[in-house]
Amino acid sequence: MAERKEESFTEKMDISMVSTAMYVTLVNLCAGTKLVVAAVGRSGIGKSAIPRQIAASRNAPYVFIDGPTTSIEDFSIPTTAQDTRVYYDKRVPRKFQELFDFVNRLREENGGEFPAGRNPILSFEEINRTPDKHVTRAMFTALNERMIGDIHIDPAIQMVVTLNPSGGGMAVNEFERDPAMRRRLKWVGVTANYGDFIRHAKKTKFHEQVVAHLESQPQHFYDDGASLAGKIFACPATWEDVSTMCYQLEANKLPLSGAEARALFAGAIGLTATQAFVEFVEDASVVITPKEILQHYAKKSTVRERFKKLVEDSRLDRVSTLCTAVAIKLYEDTNKRPETIGKQLGLFMSDMPEEVTLAFIREISEQSKNSSGGQQYLLALNGLMAKEKDGYFREAVERLQRAQRKGQEEAEKSGL
């Protein structure tokens, strides 16, 4: 009996999977309303960092409540009312004071109105992992009734929710099974997007070696295999740590390929990703980058000579790694015109070994699903390369088809 495939979170909840850039747009779109965006996605992709960065861009406060470590006292405690002993008040922790004071001050400065684009953010993180049902109910009250203790949460304070998947198939436990909570949150699945991450890394001035390495080998920016295996793994958050480590090592006049560097990097991204990064740092000249392929691959180019040398030397490991990197790089910016890369890509494919071409085509197709506008871009690119007058793409496909037919014929002769 065939094993049943676990439903993904997006399939189970019937919601959209969006990029980190789209997540930013949705959070900003809901500012100033009672709409609460609940972002679900893998660890380390920026679900928590993005709301913090959005608040900073608004020059507004950001406060977060961490579900797994929060106690009911982190929301409120009862205290005797000053004016009577019959009643009591609920005092809230000082961590909320910055939010409330900020909103009150801006309202006073603007005649009671709150200025657009200055909304502070209150984030409830890993809300599906609260160990105490009383904390869960307190979060529910905050989100549903906009109350913390006896204090009303001003409409200007934007609330967001983040959840980490509890299963390998993006399944979130318990919380999404509550119909009332499902109705009150606006759920989206958030996925790590290479293009978004590289643009963020450049904008926030990640160390140049980290950016250059990930531009040359983008398949290392998120290590799914290591994550699912319970190992230390590379992801956007840990690459930011590596960037900080690089600056610290240089400030202390230590090499980025030394023992100290390797130990620090491995603690953040694991030994395998560390080895690839250190090899790049030591000799980036031996690495063929996806950018070189998509911009400079031509009949008499040095990059083509270097690639053909890898093929001649039977370095299929490096060829396969490069092909994966090119497939990811292809969708870094789907606004660029396919005409700028079609000829280079077709020639590159015509130079590939047959055993790599089919895997490359599948990888391109798979990566198109992880990029906003990726599938439309792939259709446009395919149409362009099929009409390319030099016929490199057609040659690659025909060669692949001949190899497949030959393999099928040989299998039939062997009785397979």
Which range is most confident: 62-66, 216-220, 342-346?
62-66
Asked whether the beta carbons of 184 and 143 are under 8 A apart, the reply is yes
The predicted structure's pLDDT at residue 292: 87
Indicate the pTM of the whole model: 0.76
| The pair of three-digit structure tokens given for residue 205, joined into one six-digit string | 């001035």
Place 26 in a pLDDT band, splitting at 50, 70 and 90: very high
Q: What's residue 57's pLDDT?
A: 95
Residues 6 or more apart whose Cβ sits within 8 Å of residue 391: 346
Q: Does position 209 have pLDDT exceeding 90, yes or no?
A: yes
Residue 231 tokens, joined: 């190992």
The pLDDT value recorded for residue 2 is 46
Interval 293-319: pLDDT, tens? 888 898 888 889 988 888 888 888 888
- What local confidence, expressed as pLDDT, does residue 207 receive? 95
Regarding predicted confidence, which is higher, 416 or 198?
198
Average pLDDT, rounded, for the chain: 85
What pLDDT does 352 receive?
Answer: 85
Is residue 389 classed exposed, middle or buried when 0-12, 13-18 and 19+ CB atoms within 10 A define those classes? Answer: exposed
What is the rounded CA–CA span in Å between residue 225 and residue 240?
20
**Residue of 68, 66, 59, 51 whose CA lies nearest to 158:** 51
pLDDT at 99 over 70: yes
What mean pLDDT do residues 124-132 have? 85
Interval 123-136 mean pLDDT: 85
- The pLDDT-based confidence of 102 (bands split at 50, 70, 90) is very high
Amino acid 404: pLDDT: 59
Q: Residue range 244-266: average pLDDT?
A: 95
Helix (H, G, I), strand (E, B) or coil at 325: helix
Alpha helix segments (H runs only) across 235-350: 236-251, 259-269, 271-282, 290-296, 302-312, 316-329, 342-350
CA distance 20 to 372: 10
Higher pLDDT, 74 or 263: 263
Query: What's the mean pLDDT in 9-26?
Result: 84
* pLDDT band (50, 70, 90) for residue 413: low
What is the distance, to the nearest Å, from the Cα of residue 143 to the centroid of all Cα atoms in its chain?
26
